[in-house]
Structure 1
Amino acid sequence: MKAAVVTDKGVQFTDAKKPAPKANEILIKVKAASLNRADLAVASGHRHGTIGGAGTIVGLECAGEVEAVGAEVKDFKPGDRVMSSAAGGFAEYAVADSGRAHKIPANNMSYEQAACMPVAVQTMHNALVGAGRLKKGESVLIQGASSGVGLLGMQIAKHMGASIVMGTSTNDGRRAKLAEFGCDLALDTRDPKWPEKVKEATGGKGVDVIVDQVSGGVMNANMEAAAILGRIVNVGRLGGMKGEFNFDLHALKRIDYIGVTFRTRSPEEVRAIVQAARKDLWPAIEAGKLHLPIDKTFPLAEAAEALAHMKGNAHFGKIVLVT
């Protein structure tokens, strides 16, 4: 098969060994795959959890048709249209743990649209509902809201009953579009008064749940914006791996600061997260109420160009590869 493979000369579209499904896995004939920020790290030779290094097939999620199933798989059969988080998704074939996979809704959802959903669904549902313990009527702030994951996160927060949903972006054009995806108040973190605007929007209380995809220099401002007994969920660190931390403010507000990642989770933990997300969100996904915009589509053979497009950071929504 052909795949986008990490080499010492960068990502190249070349021959790779076709995978075979283990007992609990499905083999997917890939129709589309979407890009995530972690793909940039893998493409540059770094590791992301257990994957990485020369010879690695890039990609974390895809959609396609089941070609074969392992001996223990009961919920899928050859011919099923599926989407799944799957290492090595930038290829003509990929394998996925059947417990991570979803059948594509029979509502005319395209493979391109389906490929955008798995990582965003499991990441943001877990951040908001699992780690963040979001309750109906509480307020939510998504840091880095114009990313694909962020856009879905705002929609999930609304769907789960959040009273007010806020999102941040330092790009004026992207920030103007956030209202289309459930954002009640769009904020620019370059404005030093943004935490005060959060407090004004919440009647002086502060925000109950912050999903932080930025970290770095926004940590103390997050705590300023947070309510007493607020929860801050550390999902990403696109703005920096380190930053100042006001320990007294953290204690004063009795904030829960929670770190999450899928890199150290067991297969059983991931399956439970996927099932919880499906229970809460699947009717809305089937009805087309939760969706992500596609910024640009590339042929699979142009995976390196697609990664360069993401690195340029000029996109809004998801970047998709098609076979």
Structure 2
Amino acid sequence: MNQRNEPTLLLVDGMAVLFRAYYATAASGYIRRTKAGLPTNAVYGFIRYFWDAVQTFGPSHVICCWDMGGKTFRGEEYAAYKGNRAEAPDDLIPQFALIKEVMDSLNIPNIGAAGYEADDCIGTLAKHYTEETDLNVMVLTGDHDMLQLINDRTSIIIMKKGHGNYMVYNPETLMAEKQLTPRQIIDMKGLMGDASDNYPGVRGIGEKTALKLVQEYGSIEGILNNLDQLTPSVRKKIESDLDMLHLSRKLAEIHCAVPVACTLEGCELRLDPDTVMDKFEQLEMKSLGSWMGVAIG
């Protein structure tokens, strides 16, 4: 593991990592299973991704955040929110509970809140720990929406294709790559919408136009205050879709006041090798423990 230069909390976007792990292996047509037939490919892949990040970034503390299922406040605001999502594959469904058991065996808290998404739990915890403690925060995810959480104490680790391949965003790298501030990520989504989350933004405005407008006028408020400067076509699109513009921005913004909490002591990264190996043996993936460098005491 890397030397820890300063205390750092790694917030893991459990949903993003688990889905990535499932599809990375399921695409080959092979699903890892126990002798009893229990699918474990997503769990196995999750731990590979997760532990590689721990080795790479050397956090002193770790929390894993999850969607809880059921209705969310975004679904209440906009009934079609995520309405285009397919059901989770049958082989993945039992692994949602299984991965939480594995994280429990690693002494890593599993955090979620009814009515909210994992993103909101991550945003809330990042805000708390950077404001109330000395910890810096890193978020492990594949979701570019998380870039809105960046600040001087919070970095976003975007998982790229393949193991051990990351792009780490802070305010400087975000500006260098996208010419945007964290707050402007939300304004972009308000304008262009999000096909994967199934909200439209302003009809007829895509990423290229949204980027140009946000860069030129700074924010949605800046754009609305300068409608007379826009081309007639763009102005008409925005004026025709004002309600959806504001709703889309509301849906895009990560909520950072969720009723979740975890003590510093509760999320310190401390493995008990026996507990970890017992769980891996139960799931017939003892080799994973060896790969992690965990041996039975």
Q: Same fold (TM over 0.5)?
A: no
Q: Which has the higher strand share?
A: 1
- Structure index of larger Rg: 2
**Which protein, 1 or 2, shows the higher relative CO under an 8 Å CA cutoff with sep ≥ 6?**
2
> When the two structures are superposed, what TM-score results if normalisation uses the length of structure 1?
0.30
